[in-house]
Amino acid sequence: MPDLATHLATAYLAGRFVKLRRLAAVFYLGVLLPDLVSRPIHIVFPSTFWMAQSFHSPVVVFLFCWLISLFFRADQRRPVFLALGAGSLLHFLFDLTQRHLVAGYLWFFPFSLERYSIGWIKPDDYVRWLPLTLLVTVSVFLAGRLMTGKGGLKPGMERRAGGSLPGGRPRSEQV
Amino acid sequence: MFSDRLRVLKMIVIAGLIVVLGWWAHRSVRDPVWVDYLARPEKYHGRTVTVAREARIVSVDSTRLVVTQPEGNIELLVPPGFELPSLPPGRDVSALAVFDRDGFFTLEAISASPFRKWKIVVSLLTALAVVLFLFFSIRVGKGGLALKE
């Protein structure tokens, strides 16, 4: 698997194309979810490799997304589920690019135990490229802030710096 | 699917289904591991064993490589002419080895994971950051969790 920072960076960049707004946090949770529900089990109990692998499959992660969404208020369950699912799908697509020495992931568990991977990139290479990934992500973040005007001083602050009153009126208007 | 009707029951059934699927995978899907090869040498003669899942190098020289596995340490013979990359003890590797009925394993392919520790640290920090972001984005209200406006 790529590291979670790389997964989160892809989620942030993908999220720039859609207006996530308040769903951003659950979308980011979704992009980490397949690893969050599987890796700790494997790290703590190495002999449970296949259980961990089964949790890192679309069907089981779909169930996790559904379960998590049910903890939310009724009117928010569907959007939360969709955000979690979209994030998880992005995670799986990114994992598909990995090159493993042995096999890949259980894409069709529990219907098939065949493992698939495109095999383009070694998992360690994602960590090697992480500084570049973060640089690109931070650059996109800062560019977005500048373009939307959130990076600079607010108009009111500018006027105040030029000698206005706390209320925003220029000093000349002072009675 | 998302209504309040039988909500708790739905949650219990989904959680149960996840546990059952995980347990089924754990019980029924099992690749033979190297100790199985040693137990039945005739059956597994010439077969390739996977020495993967973050095996850690215990010792290494030009002729042999010893790595940890959940069942114990396994010794892999390095065949003549095999270009073994520079791998210090403690490094995590994945490997493929061919089993011989006389009870030894010959290294066939190896892949190192020099950044594994970094990967774990970076991933933990990222998970922590997302949990904090969630904490500030969600509140507990009537009817369950709610995303803040």
ipTM rounded to 2 decimals: 0.76
Percentage of chain B modeled with pLDDT above 70: 97
Q: How large is the average pLDDT for residues A156-172? A: 44
Answer whether A120's CB lies under 8 Å from A140's CB: no
B contact residues 40-99, partner A, Cβ 8 Å cutoff: 50, 52-54, 70, 94-96
Query: Nearest CA of chain A to the CA of B38: how many Å?
Result: 18
pLDDT at B106: 92
- Residues A111-131: b if buried by 16+ CB within 10 A, e if exposed: eeeebebeeeebbbebbeebe
pLDDT at A1: 65
Cβ contact, residue pair A110, B53, below 8 Å: no
Q: How large is the average pLDDT for residues A125-130? A: 85
* pLDDT digits 0-9 by tens, A38-75: 988 888 887 788 888 899 999 999 999 999 999 999 99
Radius of gyration of chain A (CA): 22
**Which helix or strand (DSSP H or E) is residue B140 part of?**
strand B138-141
Query: Nearest CA of chain B to the CA of A22: how many Å?
Result: 6
What distance in Å separates the CA atoms of residue B2 and residue B51, rounded to the nearest whole number?
Answer: 44
Residue A124 has pLDDT above 50, yes or no: yes
Residue A159 has pLDDT above 60, yes or no: no
Give the chain A residue whose CA is nearest to the CA of B120: A3
**Local confidence band at A168 (pLDDT 50, 70, 90 cut-offs):** very low
CA distances from B11 to A33, A56, A63, B18 (A): 18, 20, 10, 11
Q: Nearest-CA neighbor of B34 among B76, B87, B88?
A: B76
pLDDT at B60: 87
Residues of chain A contacting B113 with CB distance shorter than 8 Å: 123-124
Residue A123 has pLDDT above 80, yes or no: no
Residue B17 has pLDDT above 90, yes or no: yes
Query: Nearest CA of chain A to the CA of B142: how many Å?
Result: 8
Q: Contacts from A15-19 at CB under 8 Å and sequence distance 24+?
A: A16/A140, A16/A144
Encoded tokens for A165:
């009153």
- Mean of the per-residue pLDDT values of chain B: 86
What residues does each domain of chain B span? 1-30, 34-113, 115-149
Reported in sequence order, the residue ranges of chain A that DSSP labels E, i.e. its strands, are none
Lowest model confidence (mean pLDDT) among A108-112, A148-152, A166-170, B12-16: A166-170
Which of B138, B140, B142, B148 is the best substitution to test chain A (most A C-beta atoms within 10 A)?
B138
Give the chain B residue whose CA is nearest to the CA of A60: B18
Residue A119 has pLDDT above 80, yes or no: no
What distance in Å separates the CA atoms of residue A40 and residue A158, rounded to the nearest whole number?
Answer: 50
Maximum average pLDDT range among B44-53, B90-99, B119-128? B119-128
What distance in Å separates the CA atoms of residue A14 and residue A102, rounded to the nearest whole number?
Answer: 29
Q: What is the CATH number of domain B34-113?
A: 2.40.50.140
Cβ contact, residue pair B144, A72, below 8 Å: yes
Lowest model confidence (mean pLDDT) among A22-36, A101-115, A143-157, B39-53: A143-157
**How many other C-beta atoms are found inside a 10 Å radius of the C-beta of residue B61?**
9
Give the chain A residue whose CA is nearest to the CA of B112: A124
Q: Nearest-CA neighbor of A21 among A99, A79, A97, A95?
A: A79
Percentage of chain B modeled with pLDDT above 90: 26
Which of A55, A76, A122 is the best substitution to test chain B (most B C-beta atoms within 10 A)?
A76
pLDDT at B52: 67
Residue B54 has pLDDT above 80, yes or no: no
What distance in Å separates the CA atoms of residue B94 and residue A126, rounded to the nearest whole number?
Answer: 17
On whether any CB of chain B is under 8 Å from the CB of A28, the answer is yes
Give the chain A residue whose CA is nearest to the CA of B147: A22
**Local confidence band at A167 (pLDDT 50, 70, 90 cut-offs):** very low
